[in-house]
Amino acid sequence: MNTQGELAAELERTDRRTRELLADLDDEQLAVPYHRGINPPIWELGHAAFFYEYFLLRELGGRAARMPGYDDIWDSFEITHRHRWVQGVVPDKASAFDYYTRVIDEARGRLEDREIGRQEHYLYRYVIAHQQMHIESLIWARQTLGYPAPRFSDPAPAPPPLAAEAGGDAAVPGGKYFVGMPVDREGMATSGFSFDNERPGFEVELESFAIAKTPVSNGEFLEFVEDGGYGEESLWSFGGRCWLAEGEGGGRRHPEYWRRGDGGSWQVRRFDRWHDLPPEAPALHLSYWEAQAFCEWAGRRLPTEPEWEAAARGPGAKRFPWGDAMDAARVDMDGVLLGASPVHAFPAGASDFGALQMMGTAWEWTDSQFLPYAGFEIDMYHYMSVLQFGDHKVTKGGSCATCSSLIRNSYRQAYLPGRTDVFTGFRTCARA
């Protein structure tokens, strides 16, 4: 559990990064066009503040609303996605920033003025983690809209080292592995913060399997593209064919943000700039359907969620692939490198079985539906998980845009299988 001082420092950093993501955008850029995968940035700001107010400050103090009449505007369940764009519904920039600042200052003041108990500590951890989710969504919104890459004030990290051996599979022996978060009698996680969908953890018996040591790279996915993979109907499931023909992937013949350059070579757009496609970098912004079709083409398969967790956690059920404490130097996270490193970088972040970059880089698709674990109990925010149960796929590990203090091996992120705007990728398993 974070100390109170560490909690205060995390609040400061989260607040600073949120402001930095908005500070360099002018009014025209803040007035983003409608897109189903993003939110208006000013609404994101007010929504983050509302979480602090509603689930922390009001829960503990019982005081009236800090922005009367706007609860239904800031609450993501009450306001439809499209209505967040309706002129006059969301307050102007100055009003939203004033509300946000007042709420964050009040939350900061509680940490500075008094000792907090276990429940209050959990509430702080919850609302900070929620804001960190929206930091990631603001980063992928900049990618979606073709805005400049974020420029954070955190010191730039040194280029990561590369593993001596990069290819092949990691062999994971059969046996019992722990999935999710263990809980105490009160249903609280016993090994750090977690969300309700991670609880209660359980043991699962797995057969031995082999999983790729690295995520699929641009170069590997390019082979699929140039072999006509998008046009070969037999490689695509029924859902994948529907996505290609009718959905967000309609007419697609290559990944989102790829194009042919003037000389015929492939390029990829990273935020507001086009680059020559780096073959050793991870393939990003891929849907579940694209990952599934690639696996069919390659004679491979996607891991299940328990398999992914077993490969990342090892027999000791570690919190992170390398141990039980986060070390941001071992991962591509926090919106700095943003997926530009080779897939065989960060050897210090390897799991017990030798799998690289299972934490950070890309949310990795699994073949599992996002469903509650047996014994699931809903948390204080009823819609954090339940609205995604059933029709979403589980992705694991966090991405290059995820805050490193948010993630852990048990973390479960739900995405609809057609999503490509987020930083999604995948790794494959050998078929039996």
pLDDT at 381: 83
Confidence of residue 145 (pLDDT cuts 50, 70, 90): very high
pLDDT at 366: 98
pLDDT at 61: 83
User: Of 56-65, 124-133, 256-265, which range is least confident?
Assistant: 56-65
**Residue 247 pLDDT > 70, yes or no?**
no
Confidence of residue 422 (pLDDT cuts 50, 70, 90): very high
Q: What is the pLDDT of residues 66-104, one digit of tens each?
A: 999 999 999 999 999 999 999 999 999 999 999 999 999
Q: Which DSSP state fits 300?
A: E
The Cα–Cα gap between 113 and 340 comes to: 42
- pLDDT average, residue stretch 299-316: 97
**Residue 64 pLDDT > 90, yes or no?**
no
Q: What is the pLDDT of residues 373-398, one digit of tens each?
A: 999 999 988 888 998 999 999 999 99
CATH T-level fold of 4-145: Four Helix Bundle (Hemerythrin (Met), subunit A) (1.20.120)
Confidence of residue 173 (pLDDT cuts 50, 70, 90): very high
- Per the prediction, the chain carries an average pLDDT of 94
pLDDT at 297: 98
Confidence of residue 249 (pLDDT cuts 50, 70, 90): low
User: Taking the model in full, what pTM does it have?
Assistant: 0.96
Confidence of residue 185 (pLDDT cuts 50, 70, 90): low
157-432 maps to CATH 3.90.1580.10:
yes
- pLDDT average, residue stretch 260-267: 92
Segments making up each domain of the chain, as ranges? 4-145, 157-432
pLDDT at 19: 98
pLDDT at 190: 67
- Best mean pLDDT range from 153-162, 324-333, 374-383: 324-333
The Cα–Cα gap between 429 and 125 comes to: 35
How many residues appear in the chain? 432
Task: Give 222: exposed, middle or buried? Use CB within 10 Å, 0-12, 13-18, 19+.
Answer: middle
**Nearest CA among 155, 154, 153 for reference residue 23:** 153
Query: End-to-end alpha-carbon separation of the chain, Å?
Result: 40
pLDDT at 192: 82
Report the percent of the chain where pLDDT is more than 70. 97
pLDDT at 1: 52
Q: What is the pLDDT of residues 333-362, one digit of tens each?
A: 999 999 999 999 999 999 999 999 999 999
With both helix axes pointing from N to C terminus, report the angle between 41-52 and 118-145 in degrees, rounded to the nearest 10: 180
